[in-house]
Structure 1
């Protein structure tokens, strides 16, 4: 059924587009909201997901075997971008707050701090780094990470704690 709808969408059929929209909107919204914990932004992400579907409709027939994973991948990428933007905004607000509180930090110091954080993350052991990034960048819960990697949630918790301790140690000179 979805394959026929995808074929029709690739030809510009709005009725097929509407069917896909109605079929997957709620699932994509629930998924996006679970990742970013922001209902309004989740709605925007889902709307952007369907906008991208329509914008790329001419290549759908060649590139998409199944529409559901395609839509979820677009939404997932949109969520990651949203979280990165929110993270950058928080960093700037933190810096602005520190400047206002008399803890002045230059742009160069900020870049050095950011580089130190990135280098410290890259230096983590492979599995620890993967767990840390799944938690922080993808917003996954410990249980979800454990399930995906086939390890216990306790192991995930331990690895996150060790990662944070290591990062604190590496960037201690900036505090």
Structure 2
């Protein structure tokens, strides 16, 4: 069955959602080349642009019944493609940062003794910060972090509500977070 070139995108999308392979092929015919060129401009790599375009059309078919388009089909396709590209580069950057971190970590790992001393000092500073918390808050925090008890178990043991447990832990973290952030900066810079 051949569809008319005059059929609107909205009508094509309705047919696609009903499982029409012909409508899918028409959408592909109308937009695949333009989307590929757009992806190529953004990535500079033919193979990557082809992969993004194919992934987009594969997802369009597989998720056709779930997709709810509130704009033009073309705008939806371009936005989906753009998001895929942004996600890809975001993951690439994260991977690159992680690899750089590991390389730096390996390069700096030469002096194990120094590392162990700094680690021990950091643990002592953290213990001091915990001991400086108000007694009830410290007790709840230590049961949570050191004994790995759930909020419910802590509430039962201390005969307080789970909401109180949750609030005490949040408050402890709120008090400790700024101080620990500074400690961690000095720890990693030294």
TM bucket, shorter chain: 0.5 to 0.7
Distance 1:64 1:99, change over 3 A: same
Instruction: Quote the residue 1:92 is aligned against.
Output: 98
Larger Rg: 2
Moved more, 35-44 or 13-22: 35-44
1:19 aligns with 2:31: no
What are the residue-to-residue correspondences of 1:65-144 with 2, within 5 Å? Answer: 65-100=71-106, 102-104=107-109
Q: In the comparison of the two structures, how many residue pairs are matched? A: 108
TM-score, scaled to structure 1: 0.53
Instruction: Quote the residue 1:40 is aligned against.
Output: 47
Instruction: Quote the residue 1:157 is aligned against.
Output: none
What is the root-mean-square deviation of aligned Cα atoms in Å?
A: 2.7
The structure whose RCO (Cα within 8 Å, separation 6+) is larger is 1
Q: What CA distance in whole angstroms lies between the structure 1 residues aligned with 2:100 and 2:28? A: 39
- Offset, 1:17: 0.3
TM-score, scaled to structure 2: 0.49
Distance 1:10 1:38, change over 3 A: same
Structure 1 runs of 4+ with >4 Å offset: none
- Offset, 1:36: 2.6
Determine helix, strand or coil for the equivalent of 2:50: helix
Q: Is the 8 A contact 1:36 1:83 kept in 2?
A: no
- Offset, 1:79: 0.5
- Offset, 1:15: 0.9
Q: What CA distance in whole angstroms lies between the structure 2 residues aligned with 1:26 and 1:75? A: 13
